[in-house]
Every structure is written in C-alpha cells, then in structure tokens.
Amino acid sequence: MYGTKAMLPMEVMIGTLRIIHTEEKANSQDLRMNLDIIEERREKSDIHQVAYKRIVERYYNQMVKEKAFKVGEYVLRRNEASQAHPQGKLGPVSEGPYKVIEANQNGAYTLETMEGRQIPRT
C-alpha cells in the first residue's frame, strides 16, 4: 500500500530482522504520535463546538424581538397561563383582551378585565 516499503513474500512469512525491528519501532512511534495528536484534535473540536454554539445563539437572539407593554395598553393572554379553557387542537390559543394596570421591571404585568376586575396570578 501507499507509504510502506516493498517486501518479498518470504520476508513476511519468515520474519526477517529488518521486518521485526522496523515494525516494532514504527508501531510504538505511531502510537505515541497518535496519543499526542488525539488531545489536540479534542481541543480543536471543543473550540469548534463552542464557536458553533455562539453562532446559533446569535442567530436565535437576532430572531427574538422583545416587547414591553405600557400601563393602559390592551393585551391578550395565552390560554396556557390560566388553563381556563380546555386545551386541545381546536381550543382557543389566547383569552382577553385585558388591560395592563401595572408593569414590573422583571417583565411581569398586573392585568384587569374590561369590567375592572383584577386577574390573579398574572
């Protein structure tokens, strides 16, 4: 094959000194070299993986648009939040409209119905 020296079939069968010594040296050197290289390959793949995750994170964050509501605005609330209506494929996705009466800094809002009744756990 490529990269090996040509040998006579008799040398392989009998096992001459040339073949025995070169195989032991070559194998041990190859094993040592592979052990050295494998750590480098692992580090390289770790660096590549971190870089790829950053690219995916940047792409995802670019697609997400933050929306902050102000006091007095009308909003719809997802039905999952209150479980008021049975969930299902044909069930309603949102409920409302509700009026924002208080906006906290952590992104939580206090809502009230159109009649003025405050909604618990909003």
CATH of the domain at 91: 2.30.30
Pair (15, 59) in one structural domain: yes
Pair (57, 72) in one structural domain: no
Q: Tell whether 3 is covered by a domain.
A: no
Q: State residue 7's pLDDT score.
A: 66
- State which residues form the domain around 57: 9-63
For 5-38, the pLDDT digits (tens) are: 666 666 666 766 666 655 555 567 777 778 878 8
Q: Tell whether 2 is covered by a domain.
A: no
Pair (58, 70) in one structural domain: no
For 94-116, the pLDDT digits (tens) are: 888 999 999 888 888 999 999 99
For 73-96, the pLDDT digits (tens) are: 999 988 776 666 567 777 778 888
Pair (53, 79) in one structural domain: no
How much is the pTM?
Answer: 0.45
Q: Tell whether 74 is covered by a domain.
A: yes
User: Secondary structure of the chain in the HEC alphabet?
Assistant: CCCCCCCCHHHHHHCCHHHHHHHHHHHHHHHHHHHHHHHHHHHHHHHHHHHHHHHHHHHHHHHCCCCCCCCCCEEEEEHHHHCCCCCCCCCCCEEEEEEEEEECCCCCEEEECCCCCECCCC
Q: State residue 54's pLDDT score.
A: 96
Q: Is the dihedral of CA 82, 86, 87, 90 positive or negative?
A: negative
Count the domains in the chain. Answer: 2
Pair (57, 70) in one structural domain: no
For 49-80, the pLDDT digits (tens) are: 999 999 999 998 888 888 889 999 999 988 77
pLDDT band of 48, cuts 50, 70, 90: very high
